[in-house]
Amino acid sequence: KNQIILALDVEDKDEAYKILDQTTPYLNTIKIGYPITLALGPQIIQQIKDDYNVQIIADFKVADIDATNEKIVNTTLNWGADSIIVHGFTGDDSVLAAKNMAEKNNKEIFLLTEMSHPGADRFLKPVAEEIAQMGVDMGIKNYVAPATKTDRLAKIREIVGDEAFIISPGVGVQGGKIQDTLKYADAAIIGRSIYNSDNPQQTLEDLINMI
Ligand code: BMP
């Protein structure tokens, strides 16, 4: 039930609830990002948790100095998120501040090592392995790595080890394949191919049948 994470990047509450009605019988983790949060307000996090009894990963790609990261993480977790995604490229002081604040709230961060879009090859790819290693050195257990580049995903898995939990965006519209992704990742993050589908429930069932 937690091998597919729904990226709920819709900006309308009725639409969001329609998708959640159809998908939450099959999955229990929702990724909430800027699109829905900025459109509907941060209270949408707790509302979705209360109405659907799901885990919420807040994807705010936290990427600031340590003092600011701390505030962003604390506030986001207080809005009800269960975990929060943090960029690794900012370095160990920023990431440590985020990690410590999450732990103070008895929650966890996901460290983003490398992104799934083509443009990430230019700046993030050259440092992704170092970011993953930094995460290992810091004792971070959860990572985000791309489903669109299975070789890169495999490399990140090699660095973070089998005990780590990797979630992987890029399946579907961005070109990643669920079977390949789940060879290396614990869960696939999927957005548009589910919520833009004419029949989100059927699309999700089809994806689950491919696993
Ligand atoms: P979609 O399945 O619609 O492509 O959505 C993927 C989701 O994962 C989006 O929320 C996107 O912002 C996020 N994401 C990504 O696609 N690639 C990354 O490297 C990191 C992400 O958080």
The percent of residues in the chain predicted with pLDDT above 90, rounded, is 99
How many A from CA of 35 to the centre of ligand 1? 11
3-state secondary structure of 137: helix
Residues noted as catalytic: 61
Output the ligand 1 site: residues, CB below 6 A.
7, 9, 33, 59, 115-116, 144, 146, 169-170, 172-174, 189-193
For 65-98, how does the pLDDT look when each residue is reduced to its tens digit (9 = 90+)? 999 999 999 999 999 999 999 999 999 999 999 9
What band does 158 get if pLDDT is binned at 50, 70 and 90? very high
What backbone torsions phi and psi does residue 28 show, to the nearest 5 degrees? -130, 15
Write out the DSSP string of 78-96.
HTT-SEEEEESTT-HHHHH
The percent of residues in the chain predicted with pLDDT above 70, rounded, is 100
What band does 177 get if pLDDT is binned at 50, 70 and 90? very high
How many A from CA of 166 to the centre of ligand 1? 14
Give pLDDT, residue 62: 98
Give pLDDT, residue 109: 98
Residues with Cβ < 8 Å from 130, sequence gap 6 or more? none
Among 113, 116, 123, 150, which is best to mutate for testing ligand 1, by the most ligand atoms less than 8 A from CB? 116
Dump strand ranges (E) for 43-192. 55-62, 83-87, 108-112, 142-144, 165-169, 187-190
Give pLDDT, residue 103: 98
Between CA 80 and CA 64 the distance in angstroms is 21
Q: CB of 116 within 8 A of CB of 148?
A: yes
Q: CB of 16 within 8 A of CB of 36?
A: yes
Counting atoms of ligand 1 from 1, which one is nearest the CA of 120? 19
Among 117, 189, 196, which is best to mutate for testing ligand 1, by the most ligand atoms less than 8 A from CB? 189
Burial of 14 (0-12, 13-18, 19+ CB in 10 A): exposed
